[in-house]
Structure 1
Amino acid sequence: MSYDLMVFAPEAAPRKRAAFLDWYEAQTEWPEEHGYDDPALAAPALQAFYAELSQEFAPVSGDTPEELESGADYTIARDLIYISFLDWDKIDQAHETVYRLAAKHALGFFDVSSDIAEVWLPDNKDGLRVAHSD
């Protein structure tokens, strides 16, 4: 089991919670007609985010113990990056880093593994705010 987070282009996602969750479900059916491992296909802010995050959490390309302990599995679409962290000992570090970089790059942040499915959106003060519910 993995610890999953997602960042997304805020202009691509609905603002209301129920609509966002429907959008999320549709996006994670992976409907785009391309592979999901090429960051060049993502929006520019997502590419910049990926370039920074992958320096700290390298993409897992196999299943060696070293990779599983330090890396992450990235699924990259045009408007989102879904990240699975395999080492549960690093979830606090993963959450903090993804949240910080999402704010830096003005991306939305979705804590997929959270029991309450928390969503944050960029605000105008170079940070993130909790998205409003319906």
Structure 2
Amino acid sequence: MSYDLMVFQKDAAPLRKKEFMDWYQNQTEWTEDHSYDDPSNTSDDLRNWYIEMQKSFPDINGPNASDDNGSPNETDYSIGKNVIYAAFNWSQAETAYQKTVELAAKHNVGFFDASGSSDIWIPDGNGELKKLKENETKPWWKFW
């Protein structure tokens, strides 16, 4: 069993919890017509997150696979067009969570805590992430 976190392209994901969870389920069926080990298949923001994340948590698969077999930091990344799903060793959960959040904010991508609280975090445009509220809606005066 692994400790799973996901980052996603902010413009691709729904901004309501129920719709997001449906979208998440769809994304993790892995039905896109490409290899899920290749970072060239994803957006620039997600690819940049992945490149920097590998410095702390090397990939065990794909073209960037680590030679450091057996390291507790090795991570299995599944790379889609709009998501990167990372399966970490449970012993690395706290460090992985902190690094994932830090780099998600830096690279302007969303973050989903798949193995923990199921919280969804969205980039706020100022280099920070804001937690998506359960019933996030537009203010009443923004009807468009």
When normalised by structure 1's length, the TM-score is 0.92
Q: Note the alpha carbon deviations across 1:82-112, whole angstroms, 9 max, x for none.
A: 00002x2211110000000000011000000
Q: How far does residue 35 in structure 1 lie from its aligned partner after superposition?
A: 0.8
Cα distance, 1:129 vs. partner? 0.5
Distance in structure 2 (CA, Å) of the matches to 1:32 and 1:67 = 30
* 1:26 matched residue in structure 2: 26
CA distance in 1, matches of 2:27, 2:35: 14
Contact 1:60 / 1:67 at 8 angstroms: preserved in 2? no
**Partners in 2 of 1:37 and 1:9 — Cα distance?**
17
Asked if 1:83 corresponds to 2:81, the answer is no
Determine if the alignment matches structure 1 residue 43 to structure 2 residue 10.
Answer: no
Name the aligned partner's letter for residue 91 of structure 1.
A
Task: Report the 3-state secondary structure (helix = DSSP H, G, I; strand = E; otherwise coil) of the residue aligned with 1:106.
Answer: coil
**Any idea what SS the aligned residue of 1:71 has?**
coil
Instruction: From the CA coordinates, give the structure whose radius of gyration is larger.
Output: 2
Correspondence 1:52 to 2:52: yes
The share of aligned pairs that are identical, in percent, is 39
Contact 2:108 2:125 in 1 (8 A): no
Q: How far 1:79 sits from its partner (Å)?
A: 0.4
Q: Which runs of 4+ in 1 moved over 6 A?
A: none
C-alpha deviation, 1:133, in angstroms: 1.4
RMSD over aligned CA atoms reads: 1.7
